[in-house]
A and B are shown apart, each in its own frame.
Chain A
Amino acid sequence: MAGSNPQRERILARVRAATADNVPTTAPAASKAPIFAEIPDPLERFLRECAANLTEVICTRDSMESAAACDRVLQSLPPGELFFQDTPVFRSWASHVDSARTVRWSSGGPPSESTQATFTLAHGFVAQTGSILSSSLCGGRGASIVAPCHVVFGTTEQVVADIDAALQIANHDLLSASYVGLISGSSRTADIEKILVQGAHGPLRVVVILQAAS
C-alpha cells in the first residue's frame, strides 16, 4: 500500500517548477520585534494562567506534602479504576490507594475505558500559557486524555517561561517519542452557542501537584 507512489515525483516536479522563479510571496520585511512581553516571574505567571484555564494546582513544599496532596485528590475521586505512570514516586503514593480500587500501571498497558483518573509525570510546565509539557514517554499517549481526571506531578524547577522554551525541551529530549503535546487546561468546547462547557471528550479535571524545588 505504502510502496509505490509515482505521484510523489509528479507533485514534487510541479512544486519545483512553480517555485523556480524564487519569488517569495508578499511577506513583509523580516520582523524582529518581540511579540510577547517578558515573563519576570514564571512560577507566578504559571499559577495565574492555570487559574484562568481551569487547571487545579496544588503547591507543596516537599515530598511528604506532595504525597498528602495526592491522598486528598484520591479521596475526592469517584470509585473506579486508577492508572499510574510506572515510576518510583507513584509506586510509593499508590500504596495509599483503597484496596477496593483496581490499579493499573503503564508498564502493564494503557488505561482502560473505565479508568477514573490517571497519574503521570510531565517534562515541563509553561508559564506563558499554564500548560503541561507531556509526551508518550509520560505513561503513554492515552494516560493524559482517556480518563475524566488527569493528575500530574512535577517540581517548580520544571517551570519554563514560554512555549519556545518548552519546544526546545521537546526538540532536545522528545523527538524519539511518537507523541508530544502541551495540555492547557481541561477538555472543553464552546460549539453550542459559544457557551464554554468543560469535559468534552478528555479530562474534565486536570490537577498539577507542584512541589517546590529541593
Chain B
Amino acid sequence: MSTIPLQEFLRRATEKCADLTHRATIQRNIDSYDVAVAKGKQRFSDWEAARSRCSEIKAEAIAHLDRYLEQFEGKVKERGGHVFWAETAEDARQYIAGLAQSRGVKTIVKSKSMVTEEIHLSGALEKQGAAVWETDLGEYIVQLRNEPPYHIVTPAMHLTRVQIAQTFREKIPSEMNGEEPPQLVAAARRKLRKAFFSAEMGISGANFLVADAGMVAISTNEGNGRLTTTLPRIHVAITGIEKIIPRLSDLATLWPVLATAGTGQPITTYSTLIGGPRQPGETDGPEEFHVVLLDNGRSQVLASREHREMLKCIRCGACLNVCPVYRQIGGHAYGTTYQGPIGSVLTPNLKPSAGFEHLAFASSLCSACGSACPVRINLPHQLLLNRRDAMAKTGQSGSRTMFRLFRWTAMSSVRFRVMGWLSRKGISTAKALGIAGSKLDPMRPWTQYRNGPEVPTQTFREWWRTHGRQ
C-alpha cells in the first residue's frame, strides 16, 4: 500500500471532520437532497422494480458490450460522425488536443463530464494555448477556485453562497450585480454566454450511449449541455465504453431513475440525444461530431467476474449522498476523480498501481450505498472484495498476524477465556499506569479518536452462570 495517497487521505479526512462549517454545509445540502429524493421516489409505483429494470438493462449492455459498441459506432458514422476508441487517458487527450490544434481552436466550452476530469483533459488543452470554460455552474465555480469537483453530480456542494460570492468578486468582478444566488447565477450566465458564442469546440460527456439509435444521451438542467453541443462548430463527446445501453426505449426507465436518484427530479430539464453533426437541411448545429470511447482500465474491470458489476454505474451520486463517511469527510478528502463508495470501489480497479487500496477501508460497511444504488451494484460487497485484494497485495503482516491470533484463540474455549482475562488485565493496567490513549498505548490508532473500552466488572461467562438459565 503506497503511503502517500493514504497519508494524504487521513490528513484531509481528519481536517474535514474537524471543520464544523464544512460539515454543516454538507449536512444542509444532503438534507435537502434526502427530502427531494424521498418525494421523487413516490412518483414511481414501484421504485424497487425500477431499480431492477435499470440493473438488467445495464447488465445486458455489459454482457454484450462489443456488439452494442459496434452498433453504436456504425449508426454515428452513418450520420457523418467520427468515433475514436481510446485505450488510455493519454490517447484520448492526444486525440482531442490534436483535433483542437488542427482545427485552429482557441476557445472551448465544456459541459460537465467526469471522464474529462478522469483524463485531466482541460490542462492538456490549456497547455497548447486554448481557453477552456467549464459551463456547468458548479464546475465553473470550482474551476474559478482551481479546485477539483467535490461531488460527481454537484461539484460545488461544499461551498456557501458567501464563499461563492467571494470567488466571483475576485475572479469576475465586472459581472457582479449582487450576492444572492439568482444574482450569482446571472453573473455566471453573462460571463459564459460570451464563451458559448465564441467557442469553436464544445466538449461534453455522455450519460448514455444508445446503441440502436447511435445517439449520445446527455442529461442537464442548466441548458449548458445543449449550448455546448449546439453553438461551436465542433462537438466532441467523450465517455467510458461502459455507458452503452442497448435500446432507445431503455431511456424511458433510465432517464427518470437517474434524475430521481441524482437530484430527486422526475426527469432533468434537458434530456438530450445527439446523433451527429448538422444534417443536410438542418438550420444549425456543429459541422463536426466526434465521439471518444474511453477504455482506460474499464476492459480490465470487465475481465473480472467479481468486479464487473461496477461498470453498471450511471454516476447518479446517490451512494455518495447516503454514505456516512462521505457526509463527514466530503469529496476532496478522497483525492480521486470519483469520490464516495463508487470512487472507493472503482479507483483501485481502474488504477491498480496508484495506491488507492486504502479507500476500501474508508467505509463503515453500513450498506447504505448498496441500498441506494439505482442499478443495484452491491457496493458493500465490492468494498469487501477490494479489502481482500488490498490485503493480498500489500500483505499487511500486522493485521494478518492479529487475525491468525484471533482465529487460534476463538477455536478453543480455554484459550478464549485466557485471552479475555489477559485483555482485561492489560486494559486495566494501561489505565492504572496512565498510558491508555497516550503514545505508548498499543491501541492508540483506535483510542486517539475514541474512548477505550470499559473493563466489565463481570465476564459474560460469570453473568451466564447466574442469569443464563433463568
Contact = CB atoms under 8 A, between A and B. Distances in A.
Contacts of B290: 2
Nearest to A35: B50
Contact of B249 (A15, A136, A167, A199): A167
Given A21-B305, A26-B378, A129-B256, A189 B137 contact: yes
B114 to A, nearest CB: 15
A194 B226 contact: no
B439 interface: no
B66 A12 contact: yes
Contacts of B43: 36
A201 B64 CA distance: 38
Given A1-B102, A12-B66, A182 B271 contact: yes
A163 B251 contact: yes
Contacts of A164: 249, 252
A193 B154 CA distance: 10
Contacts of A100: none
Contact of B269 (A18, A109, A180, A188): A188
B341 interface: no
Given A145-B227, A178-B285, A201-B227, A184 B271 contact: yes
A199 B184 CA distance: 12
A178 B274 contact: yes
A197 B69 contact: no
Interface in A145-195: 145-146, 162-164, 167-168, 170-171, 175-195
Contacts of B91: 7
A139 B283 contact: yes
B266 A129 contact: yes
B73 to A, nearest CB: 8
A201 B189 contact: yes
Interface in A80-134: 106-107, 109-110, 113, 128-129, 131
Interface string A28-40: 1111011111000
B369 interface: no
B441 interface: no
A25 B309 contact: yes
Interface string B168-199: 00000000000001101110110011001100
A56 B85 CA distance: 44
B28 interface: yes
Contacts of B141: 191
B53 to A, nearest CB: 5
A72 interface: no
- Which of the listed residues A16, A35, A186, A194 has the most CB atoms from chain B within 10 Å of its own CB? A35
A188 B230 contact: no
A177 B273 CA distance: 10
B282 A200 contact: no
A187 B248 contact: no
A113 B193 contact: yes
Contacts of A113: 193, 197
Contacts of B182: 197
Interface string B292-316: 0101000110110100110110000
Contacts of A162: 252
A27 interface: yes
B119 interface: no
Nearest to B285: A141
B252 A15 contact: no
B79 interface: yes
Contact of B55 (A27, A34, A146): A27
A64 interface: no
Nearest to A3: B82
Interface string A46-58: 0001000100000
Nearest to A162: B252
Nearest to A137: B282
A11 B285 contact: no
B360 interface: no
Contacts, number: 294
A200 B221 CA distance: 8
A49 B273 contact: no
B145 to A, nearest CB: 13
- Which of the listed residues A26, A191, A194 has the most CB atoms from chain B within 10 Å of its own CB? A191
B45 interface: yes
Contacts of A179: 229-230, 272-275, 285
A22 B65 CA distance: 11
Nearest to A175: B213
A162 to B, nearest CB: 7
Contacts of A170: 213, 248, 273
A143 interface: yes
Nearest to B111: A201
A78 interface: no
A14 B283 contact: no
B312 A191 contact: no
A15 B241 CA distance: 10
B52 A25 contact: no
Contact of A12 (B58, B70, B269): B70
A23 B222 CA distance: 40
B223 A129 contact: no
Nearest to A112: B197
A16 B208 CA distance: 21
B464 interface: no
Contacts of A18: 299, 302-303, 308
Contacts of B406: none
B44 interface: yes
Contacts of B347: none
18 contacts: A7-B91, A14-B302, A18-B308, A27-B55, A31-B53, A34-B49, A35-B253, A53-B266, A163-B267, A177-B279, A178-B275, A178-B279, A179-B230, A184-B267, A187-B223, A189-B221, A194-B29, A200-B185
The 8 closest A-B pairs by CB, nearest first: A202-B223, A140-B283, A200-B222, A31-B52, A27-B59, A110-B284, A2-B82, A164-B252
Given A167-B249, A191-B156, A192-B161, 13 more contacts: A1-B82, A15-B302, A19-B65, A35-B45, A136-B279, A140-B282, A146-B231, A179-B273, A189-B185, A193-B25, A201-B196, A202-B227, A202-B269
